[in-house]
Amino acid sequence: MNLNPVILAIPMYFTLMAIELVYEAITRKHTYRLNDAVTNISTGTLQQFTNTFLHILNIGIYTLIFEQFAFFHLEPNAWSFLVLFILYDFCYYWEHRVAHEVSLFWGGHIVHHQSEDFNLSVALRQSSTSIIWGFVFFLPLALIGFSPIQLALVGGFNLLYQFWIHTEHINKMGWLEAVLNTPSHHRVHHGRNPKYIDKNYAGVFIIWDRMFGTFQAEEERPTYGITVALNSWNPVYANFSHYTYLFEMVRQAKSMKDVFKILFKGPGYLPDYLEPLVKARKRKLQDPKYNVQHHFSGINRYVLVQFVVALGIIAYFFFMQPQFELSTKLLYGAWIVGTTLLFGFLFEYRGKWLVALEWVRLAAMPIGLNGLQRAGAELPNFISIALLVFAVLSMVTFFFVFNKSTNLTQQLTHV
């Protein structure tokens, strides 16, 4: 079983999101949209999947430095854990700050800021490429002598802390605001208001921002998102949108000096001759949130049911993936990527082959479960039967829901 504290906390994440949704139903203060929340969780799913491979590289390099070059080998105990917790957050501050202030690295962090809402699901919206640029900032901890196991535990707890601060429903918290990162401070960090941009980088301790001049208190409630909107519910595109933008700008740069500046100056930098290409894409604070309106709500209800079932299948993968062979991980991963893509396509209502693709995705569920059982996975037979029945019923349901929605859309288009 996967003992990563972030994976083990999955039930807690969804319990807290459920509590937040119940609270919103009572207070009628709504911060969730189905399409946005599903996309948030889908990007987090992709990040956890890619980390099953990239994390090996990350931990491998850290372990090599720890074993070959560490000045000390510190004894794991309560005191070393506390010291590491503080030092890790210090390193996180600089990794996070550089991710905002260097355009190439911003490509590995922008995903977390794309949502135009602010709720607990946004905490799960993570990039699949951030680990490539960020792990180097934590290597000094290996030189000091903190073991890879200590690093993994502390990193997991640091990330767990940052989950609860993604909410609109907790206001300022008195004296804690002076020391800790709080929902108020983190709302500022996610704001695209000019005075809020590139502020409050801390993970746990807001003292780093106060020390290094990047602190901004919350005044008016922020407008969330990025200055050039993603305008998509596609979680794969969300991960590569900034890199495609950089490629477009680099391709049109007139010198290697300009290429270097485009990649390594701030995300907002462009040579004067390229500014007109993106000026029209910049957003105003009063611009409406991105949305795609369906004329038939059956599509959204269908996606919601499929999403809940998919979460159970995906959670099983994350808990059990250390026991899977590489081929199983890759096949499972292909289904995970395809599922998140299809949900995005359904929300955007695009693609002539949606019915066929969705049927392939549904058929893969009972077939894949049967393959896991043949490979030795101990799963009750009734789960196989239930999943098969669910897949068949879903195929029939989706065929009628999609066609009804398509016909209604065509009728309204020609009115």
Distance CA 98, CA 266 (A): 9
| pLDDT tens-digit map of 200-232 | 999 999 999 999 999 999 999 999 999 988 999
| pLDDT tens-digit map of 10-22 | 889 999 999 999 9
* Helix (H) and strand (E) counts in the chain: 18, 0
For range 400-407, the mean pLDDT: 72
Predicted pLDDT at 408: 46
Predicted pLDDT at 414: 40
| pLDDT tens-digit map of 76-129 | 899 999 999 999 999 999 999 999 999 999 999 999 999 999 999 999 999 999
Other CB atoms within 10 Å distance of the CB of residue 304: 13
pTM of the model: 0.92
Buried b (16+ CB within 10 A) or exposed e, 247-267: eebeeebeeeebbebbbeeeb
pLDDT exceeds 50 at position 173: yes
CB 33 within 8 A of CB 117: yes
Q: Which residues, including other chains, have CB under 8 Å from residue 310's CB and lie 6 or more apart? A: 339
Which residues are 138's β-sheet partners? none
> Token pair 């991960």 is at which residue?
239
pLDDT exceeds 80 at position 375: no
For range 248-273, the mean pLDDT: 94
| Pair of tokens at residue 37 | 């929340």
Determine the 3-state secondary structure of 52 from DSSP.
helix
First to last CA, the chain: 56
pLDDT exceeds 80 at position 4: no
Measured N-to-C along each axis, helices 381-413 and 354-374 cross at an angle, to the nearest 10 degrees, of 170
CB 124 within 8 A of CB 106: no
Predicted pLDDT at 299: 86
| Pair of tokens at residue 332 | 């499972």
Eight-state DSSP code of residue 221 = P
| C-alpha atoms less than 13 angstroms from C-alpha of 26 in its C-beta half-sphere | 7
Which residues are 191's β-sheet partners? 224
Determine the 3-state secondary structure of 87 from DSSP.
helix
> Token pair 């099953």 is at which residue?
52
Distance CA 399, CA 97 (A): 47
Q: What does the chain come to in residues?
A: 415
The rounded percent of the chain whose pLDDT value lies above 70 is 94
pLDDT band at 401 (very low <50, low <70, confident <90, very high): confident
Predicted pLDDT at 208: 98
Q: Where are the alpha helices (DSSP H) in 321-353?
A: 326-348
> Token pair 């941009």 is at which residue?
197
| pLDDT tens-digit map of 309-328 | 999 999 999 888 888 888 89
Among 224-238, 365-379, 382-396, the least confident range:
365-379
